[in-house]
Structures are given as C-alpha cells and as structure tokens.
C-alpha cells in the first residue's frame, strides 16, 4: 500500500516537472520567435529607408543633370529670339541673267567687227542663282557675277546719286547696234524707273539684263517712258 502511494506521488511529481519544463520551453520559443520577428522588422525598416534615400538621391541627380544638360525650359521670349536669329541668319538668293539675243534681229545694224564675240544663243550669262546680303542692289549682283565669271563690264558711277550707268557688258556697248541700242534691266519682269545702283534686292528677286536695239520697245519696255 505504501509503495503504491509512493509511486503515485512520484508520478505526480514527474508530471509537475514535465509541465514546468514544457512551459519553460514554450516561453523560450515564443521569446525567440518574437526576437526574430523584431529583427526582421528592423531589417525591413532599414531596407525601406535605404530605398527611400536612394530614390531621393536619383531624383536629385536627375534634376541636376537635367539642369546641366538641357538648361532651362525656353520661355516665349526665348523662342521668339531664336526665331528672329534664324530669320536673320537665313541665306537669301536672287537669280540673274544677261542676254543680247535682240542683236540677232538687228545684225545689219550691229558693229561687224564684234559679230564674232556674240554668244551663239544670245546669252552672256544664263539664269544664275546668287546669294545676296542685306542692302545689296542690282548693280552689286551684276558686278559680282561679271567679276566672278571674268566677263567684261564697263560702267560710269556717280556715288552722289548712287548711280551706275552700264555702258558695256561682254564687250557689247551702247550704240553698237544702232543709235537706240544699249543695256536695260528689269526685276520680276518689270522695268524700274531708277538706276540699278538704287534698286535694293529682296530674297527671290529675278534680275534680267537685256540689250535693246530700240530704246526698250523690243524687250517689253520703253526707256523714254521710264525716264520721264
């Protein structure tokens, strides 16, 4: 009977000890799990902070780079100034030709000693495109073309009146084809009523120097009417 009681007591004691040990292990496991969770949370916070700092740095670098490479966004005034500069620096051109074809209709009146210098097609200078600068005149372009092509050109200049009277081109002079013959010019198919040294050109103008044998009437003009 005593042995049975002792056995029961030992079983109870063993159960108590097992319970205490089990509770202790469970408590330690919970504490460990909590510690691991805390460490993971700290790691997540650190990673998140690093990501935020990196994003902020990239944004700052991008802003700085944009400011360095691209400068500033153009304003309306900047755009207008840029357009003005482009318009100012844009090249301008005119065309010019020099013809004495009317002489072939008046060969009997033309100086016989000069017949051999007449161009076969009547063109001393075919239609030629020439770049011009601001303020250049018909005379300036004529001078530029004849010099550039080594073509004879003789004129009388009166700077006071900005007048340049063309006496001869390509060794063909006024009166070479009769008393009413000489050189005239027109721009855009119109004969101006003033000298070639006063006609300021604009982009796209078409200049034609023509030799007349009848004071312009044979080339679509009239020297007397133009100079009234």
Specify the number of domains making up the chain. 2
Is residue 82 a part of any domain in this protein? no
197 within 8 A of 163, measured Cβ to Cβ: yes
30 or 95: which leads in pLDDT:
95
Average pLDDT over residues 122-135: 97
Is residue 85 a part of any domain in this protein? no
Residue 140 has pLDDT above 70, yes or no: yes
The separation between the first and the last C-alpha atoms of the chain, rounded to the nearest angstrom, is 162
Residue 97 has pLDDT above 70, yes or no: yes
Residue 207 has pLDDT above 50, yes or no: yes
Asked which of 58-67, 89-98, 118-127, 198-207 is least confident by mean pLDDT, the reply is 58-67
Strands (E), the chain: 92-99, 123-132, 153-158, 163-169, 172-173, 182-187, 206-212
Residues 6+ away with beta carbon under 8 Å from 166: 142, 153, 154, 155, 183, 185, 196, 209
Average pLDDT over residues 207-225: 90
Co-location of 24 and 96 in the same domain: no
Q: Which of 6-10, 74-78, 211-215 has the highest mean pLDDT?
A: 211-215
| Domain enclosing residue 174, as ranges | 92-226
141 within 8 A of 207, measured Cβ to Cβ: yes
214 or 161: which leads in pLDDT:
214
Residue 25 has pLDDT above 70, yes or no: no
Is residue 78 a part of any domain in this protein? no
What tens digit of pLDDT does each residue of 44-89 get?
565 456 565 665 555 555 544 444 334 445 555 555 555 555 555 7
Q: Within 13 Å of residue 151, how many CA atoms lie on the same side as its CB?
A: 21
Give me the CATH number covering residue 98.
Answer: 2.170.130.30
Q: What pLDDT shows up at residue 29?
A: 47
Co-location of 133 and 219 in the same domain: yes
Co-location of 181 and 105 in the same domain: yes
Residue 11 has pLDDT above 90, yes or no: no
């Amino acid at each position: 009977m005593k042995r049975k009681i002792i056995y029961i007591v030992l079983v109870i004691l063993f159960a108590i000890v097992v319970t205490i040990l089990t509770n202790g292990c469970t408590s330690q496991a919970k504490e460990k799990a909590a510690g691991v969770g805390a460490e993971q949370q700290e790691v997540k916070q650190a990673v998140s902070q690093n990501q935020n700092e990196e994003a902020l740095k990239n944004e700052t670098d991008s802003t700085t780079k944009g400011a360095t490479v691209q400068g500033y966004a153009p304003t309306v005034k900047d755009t207008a100034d840029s357009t003005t500069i482009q318009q100012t620096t844009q090249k301008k051109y005119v065309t010019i030709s020099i013809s004495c074809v009317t002489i072939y209709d008046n060969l009997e009146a033309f100086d016989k000693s000069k017949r051999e210098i007449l161009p076969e097609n009547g063109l001393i200078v075919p239609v030629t495109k020439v770049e011009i600068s601001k303020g250049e005149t018909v005379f300036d372009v004529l001078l530029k073309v004849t010099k550039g092509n080594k073509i004879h050109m003789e004129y009388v200049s009166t700077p006071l009146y900005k007048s340049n009277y063309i006496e001869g081109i390509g060794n063909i002079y006024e009166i070479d084809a009769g008393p009413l013959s000489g050189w005239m010019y027109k721009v855009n198919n119109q004969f101006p009523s003033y000298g070639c040294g006063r006609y300021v050109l604009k982009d796209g103008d078409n200049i034609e120097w023509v030799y007349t044998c009848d004071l312009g009437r044979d080339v679509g003009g009239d020297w007397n009417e133009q100079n009234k």
